[in-house]
Amino acid sequence: MITIINYGIGNINAFVNIYKRLDIPVNIAATVDDLNNKVDKIILPGVGSFDYAMQRLTDSGMVDRLNELVLQEKKQVLGICVGMQLMAESSDEGTLNGLGWIKGQVKKLNVENIHHRSKLPHMGWNDVEPAKNHSIFNEINEKQLFYFLHSYYYKLENPENCLAVTHYGQTFASIIGKDNILGIQCHPEKSHEAGELFLKNFAKL
Protein backbone atom coordinates (compact mmCIF):
# COMPACT_ATOMS: atom_id res chain seq x y z
CA MET A 1 0.00 0.00 0.00
CA ILE A 2 1.32 3.42 -0.98
CA THR A 3 0.68 6.16 1.57
CA ILE A 4 0.67 9.76 0.33
CA ILE A 5 1.52 12.35 2.97
CA ASN A 6 -1.01 15.18 3.02
CA TYR A 7 0.34 18.08 5.07
CA GLY A 8 -1.48 20.75 3.10
CA ILE A 9 1.11 21.06 0.32
CA GLY A 10 1.12 19.42 -3.10
CA ASN A 11 -1.55 18.14 -5.44
CA ILE A 12 -2.48 14.94 -3.62
CA ASN A 13 -5.37 14.18 -5.99
CA ALA A 14 -3.03 14.07 -8.98
CA PHE A 15 -1.15 11.13 -7.45
CA VAL A 16 -4.36 9.42 -6.36
CA ASN A 17 -5.76 9.69 -9.89
CA ILE A 18 -2.62 8.27 -11.50
CA TYR A 19 -2.50 5.29 -9.17
CA LYS A 20 -6.23 4.74 -9.58
CA ARG A 21 -5.70 4.61 -13.33
CA LEU A 22 -2.88 2.10 -12.76
CA ASP A 23 -5.11 0.08 -10.41
CA ILE A 24 -2.62 0.51 -7.55
CA PRO A 25 -4.18 1.13 -4.11
CA VAL A 26 -3.19 4.23 -2.13
CA ASN A 27 -3.92 5.73 1.27
CA ILE A 28 -3.72 9.37 2.31
CA ALA A 29 -2.14 10.23 5.67
CA ALA A 30 -2.93 13.60 7.21
CA THR A 31 -2.25 12.73 10.87
CA VAL A 32 0.18 10.55 12.79
CA ASP A 33 -2.67 8.12 13.50
CA ASP A 34 -2.98 7.55 9.75
CA LEU A 35 0.66 6.44 9.75
CA ASN A 36 -0.02 3.80 12.38
CA ASN A 37 -2.04 1.83 9.84
CA LYS A 38 -0.45 -0.39 7.19
CA VAL A 39 2.29 1.56 5.41
CA ASP A 40 4.43 -0.13 2.74
CA LYS A 41 5.63 2.83 0.70
CA ILE A 42 5.47 6.59 1.25
CA ILE A 43 5.20 9.55 -1.11
CA LEU A 44 6.14 12.95 0.30
CA PRO A 45 5.04 15.64 -2.18
CA GLY A 46 5.64 19.36 -1.85
CA VAL A 47 5.52 22.75 -3.50
CA GLY A 48 6.48 26.26 -2.40
CA SER A 49 9.28 27.37 -0.11
CA PHE A 50 11.45 25.11 2.06
CA ASP A 51 10.66 26.68 5.45
CA TYR A 52 6.91 26.85 4.78
CA ALA A 53 6.83 23.20 3.75
CA MET A 54 9.00 22.07 6.67
CA GLN A 55 6.86 24.01 9.14
CA ARG A 56 3.65 22.52 7.73
CA LEU A 57 5.10 19.01 7.97
CA THR A 58 6.24 19.67 11.54
CA ASP A 59 2.84 21.09 12.49
CA SER A 60 1.15 17.96 11.13
CA GLY A 61 2.78 15.94 13.92
CA MET A 62 3.98 13.27 11.49
CA VAL A 63 7.75 13.92 11.45
CA ASP A 64 8.74 11.55 14.27
CA ARG A 65 6.65 8.72 12.86
CA LEU A 66 8.01 9.34 9.36
CA ASN A 67 11.55 9.13 10.76
CA GLU A 68 10.68 5.77 12.32
CA LEU A 69 9.14 4.42 9.13
CA VAL A 70 11.99 5.57 6.89
CA LEU A 71 15.10 5.29 9.05
CA GLN A 72 14.23 2.37 11.31
CA GLU A 73 11.60 0.30 9.47
CA LYS A 74 13.25 1.08 6.10
CA LYS A 75 10.01 1.72 4.24
CA GLN A 76 10.46 2.87 0.65
CA VAL A 77 9.92 6.63 0.42
CA LEU A 78 9.76 9.02 -2.53
CA GLY A 79 10.14 12.77 -2.03
CA ILE A 80 8.87 14.95 -4.87
CA CYS A 81 10.03 18.51 -5.64
CA VAL A 82 10.09 20.36 -2.29
CA GLY A 83 9.27 17.01 -0.69
CA MET A 84 12.66 15.84 -1.94
CA GLN A 85 14.38 19.00 -0.72
CA LEU A 86 12.98 18.44 2.78
CA MET A 87 15.13 15.31 2.92
CA ALA A 88 18.25 17.52 3.02
CA GLU A 89 19.87 18.82 6.19
CA SER A 90 19.17 22.48 5.42
CA SER A 91 18.32 24.94 2.67
CA ASP A 92 19.65 28.33 1.60
CA GLU A 93 16.00 29.22 1.03
CA GLY A 94 15.27 29.22 4.76
CA THR A 95 16.55 28.69 8.28
CA LEU A 96 14.78 25.53 9.45
CA ASN A 97 16.48 22.15 9.62
CA GLY A 98 15.41 19.55 7.10
CA LEU A 99 14.78 15.87 7.75
CA GLY A 100 18.41 14.98 7.05
CA TRP A 101 17.61 11.63 5.43
CA ILE A 102 20.28 12.04 2.73
CA LYS A 103 23.20 14.28 3.60
CA GLY A 104 23.31 17.50 1.60
CA GLN A 105 22.09 21.08 1.42
CA VAL A 106 19.59 22.81 -0.84
CA LYS A 107 21.22 25.56 -2.90
CA LYS A 108 19.97 28.16 -5.36
CA LEU A 109 20.54 27.37 -9.02
CA ASN A 110 23.41 29.26 -10.62
CA VAL A 111 21.88 31.18 -13.54
CA GLU A 112 25.00 32.96 -14.83
CA ASN A 113 25.11 30.70 -17.89
CA ILE A 114 21.42 31.14 -18.73
CA HIS A 115 20.94 33.85 -21.32
CA HIS A 116 17.19 34.18 -21.75
CA ARG A 117 15.38 36.87 -19.80
CA SER A 118 13.38 34.70 -17.41
CA LYS A 119 16.09 32.68 -15.67
CA LEU A 120 14.32 31.45 -12.56
CA PRO A 121 12.39 29.45 -11.78
CA HIS A 122 13.54 26.58 -13.94
CA MET A 123 10.12 25.91 -15.40
CA GLY A 124 9.05 23.56 -18.16
CA TRP A 125 10.20 20.34 -19.80
CA ASN A 126 13.75 19.06 -19.50
CA ASP A 127 15.80 15.89 -19.76
CA VAL A 128 16.48 13.58 -16.84
CA GLU A 129 19.68 11.64 -17.60
CA PRO A 130 20.29 8.47 -15.52
CA ALA A 131 23.67 8.50 -13.78
CA LYS A 132 23.51 4.84 -12.78
CA ASN A 133 21.30 1.79 -13.25
CA HIS A 134 18.19 1.64 -11.08
CA SER A 135 14.84 -0.10 -11.45
CA ILE A 136 13.09 3.27 -11.05
CA PHE A 137 14.06 3.89 -14.71
CA ASN A 138 12.47 0.69 -16.10
CA GLU A 139 10.78 1.31 -19.47
CA ILE A 140 11.55 5.04 -19.31
CA ASN A 141 13.23 6.19 -22.51
CA GLU A 142 16.13 8.58 -21.91
CA LYS A 143 14.54 10.95 -24.45
CA GLN A 144 11.32 11.27 -22.45
CA LEU A 145 10.99 14.67 -20.80
CA PHE A 146 9.90 15.58 -17.28
CA TYR A 147 8.25 18.77 -16.05
CA PHE A 148 10.23 21.04 -13.68
CA LEU A 149 9.30 24.03 -11.55
CA HIS A 150 11.98 25.08 -9.06
CA SER A 151 14.73 27.58 -8.26
CA TYR A 152 16.74 25.48 -5.81
CA TYR A 153 18.50 22.12 -6.13
CA TYR A 154 19.76 19.39 -3.80
CA LYS A 155 23.56 19.53 -3.45
CA LEU A 156 24.50 16.06 -2.28
CA GLU A 157 27.36 15.50 0.12
CA ASN A 158 28.00 12.09 -1.45
CA PRO A 159 27.86 12.02 -5.28
CA GLU A 160 27.12 8.29 -5.09
CA ASN A 161 23.58 9.25 -4.04
CA CYS A 162 22.93 10.87 -7.43
CA LEU A 163 20.74 8.66 -9.65
CA ALA A 164 20.09 11.14 -12.47
CA VAL A 165 21.12 14.61 -13.56
CA THR A 166 19.55 17.52 -15.41
CA HIS A 167 21.17 20.55 -17.04
CA TYR A 168 19.91 24.09 -16.51
CA GLY A 169 22.73 26.61 -16.32
CA GLN A 170 24.57 23.91 -14.40
CA THR A 171 24.33 20.17 -13.91
CA PHE A 172 22.36 19.19 -10.82
CA ALA A 173 21.01 15.98 -9.29
CA SER A 174 17.41 15.63 -10.40
CA ILE A 175 16.87 12.16 -8.92
CA ILE A 176 18.62 11.04 -5.74
CA GLY A 177 18.64 7.81 -3.82
CA LYS A 178 20.12 6.04 -0.84
CA ASP A 179 18.95 2.61 0.29
CA ASN A 180 15.14 2.89 0.70
CA ILE A 181 15.06 6.67 0.13
CA LEU A 182 14.36 8.26 -3.27
CA GLY A 183 13.79 11.83 -4.33
CA ILE A 184 12.90 13.48 -7.63
CA GLN A 185 13.16 17.23 -8.25
CA CYS A 186 10.65 17.40 -11.10
CA HIS A 187 6.92 16.65 -11.00
CA PRO A 188 6.13 13.13 -12.23
CA GLU A 189 2.43 13.82 -11.68
CA LYS A 190 2.68 16.50 -14.40
CA SER A 191 5.06 14.60 -16.68
CA HIS A 192 2.57 12.51 -18.67
CA GLU A 193 3.82 9.09 -19.79
CA ALA A 194 7.32 9.38 -18.30
CA GLY A 195 5.97 10.48 -14.93
CA GLU A 196 3.36 7.75 -14.86
CA LEU A 197 6.01 5.14 -15.59
CA PHE A 198 8.19 6.57 -12.84
CA LEU A 199 5.37 6.36 -10.28
CA LYS A 200 4.51 2.86 -11.48
CA ASN A 201 8.14 1.79 -11.01
CA PHE A 202 8.15 3.21 -7.50
CA ALA A 203 5.11 1.11 -6.66
CA LYS A 204 7.03 -2.00 -7.75
CA LEU A 205 10.14 -1.38 -5.59
- Residues marked as catalytic: 81, 187, 189
Number of neighbours of residue 76 by Cβ within 10 angstroms: 20
> What's the CA gap between 168 and 9, in Å, rounded?
25
CB 181 within 8 A of CB 173: no
Question: Which phi and psi (to 5°) does residue 129 adopt?
Answer: -100, 115
CB 101, CB 83: distance < 8 Å: no
Nearest to 53 by CA among 101, 11, 85, 19: 85
Residues 6 or more apart in contact with residue 189 via CB below 8 angstroms? 11, 14, 15, 18, 45, 80, 195, 199
